[in-house]
Structure 1
């Protein structure tokens, strides 16, 4: 009897040839997903974008932008069939490490007020709510939802 081991997950730069898979995960994860053009623009702008892959399977990704001594997490998603397996934690840890290498002092993000699962993940990771943007995210039929602004300091060495 032989068993086939799955390859270990790898973090690699987000690459244009993976955009179809990225967009598919994005559409499965969000009610108002980024478009292929949003991802192409992020790559063209030189934003930090990493994918977590296992063989030819996309587990998740993030896109972040550095502004002076701050890094803003613009987008992060984990494929629905890979959720609950630590992928988000690994992506966030990778972002932390990269941000420290860039001498960033703070990480920032915005999350829908209704996305309690993501908010809990961010809080466990060390982010704290520092504000709100009322009526920021589109919901449907002209309605809008509050964005929760979260931040995490990156002072000192990695934990």
Structure 2
């Protein structure tokens, strides 16, 4: 398993590398990530996953009132299927519940069956499609899960 900790600005260079490797067609910019971190911890919660001191994944959550949104989860390809994505998602769900969210939402690329399976295994249910949501024209599947309150 990876060691999880709160993301800081010092992590941005490593996170940007993962972002570009994972989402080449629509990677977030450093400015976008800086903006997300600027709202941490007020409305955001970002984590990095480290193995032997190297950041291999990260995830982010937004929470407003009783609604939470998984902003992103990304893990280097060579570390996928090792439970790191699940570990990050578990931490986001825990934080959303701690902040008293009753529902958590996310979008997942329609062409990402591995991520869709992980979210389904965590109890997320698809409820819609956002046509052409991603920069390359790929649809997003919108998913939601009720949180125990």
* TM-score in same-fold range (> 0.5): yes
Q: Which residue of 2 aligns with 1:125?
A: 122
Q: Which residue of 2 aligns with 1:9?
A: 2
> Which of these two proteins has the greater Rg computed from alpha carbons?
1
Does residue 33 of structure 2 align to residue 39 of structure 1? Answer: yes
- Which ranges of structure 1 fall in alignment gaps of 5 or more residues? 1-7
- Give the RMSD, CA atoms, in angstroms: 1.2
Runs of 4+ in 1 over 2 A off after TM superposition: none
- Which ranges of structure 2 fall in alignment gaps of 5 or more residues? none
Q: Which residue of 2 aligns with 1:49?
A: 46
Relative CO higher for 1 or 2, CA cutoff 8 Å, sep ≥ 6?
2
TM score, norm. by length of structure 2: 0.92
TM score, norm. by length of structure 1: 0.86
Q: Which residue of 2 aligns with 1:93?
A: 90
How many Å separate the matches in 2 of 1:50 and 1:21? 13
Deviations 1:17-61 (A, max 9, x none): 111110001111112111111110100122110111123211211
- 1:130/1:150 contact within 8 Å kept: yes
Does residue 146 of structure 2 align to residue 153 of structure 1? Answer: yes
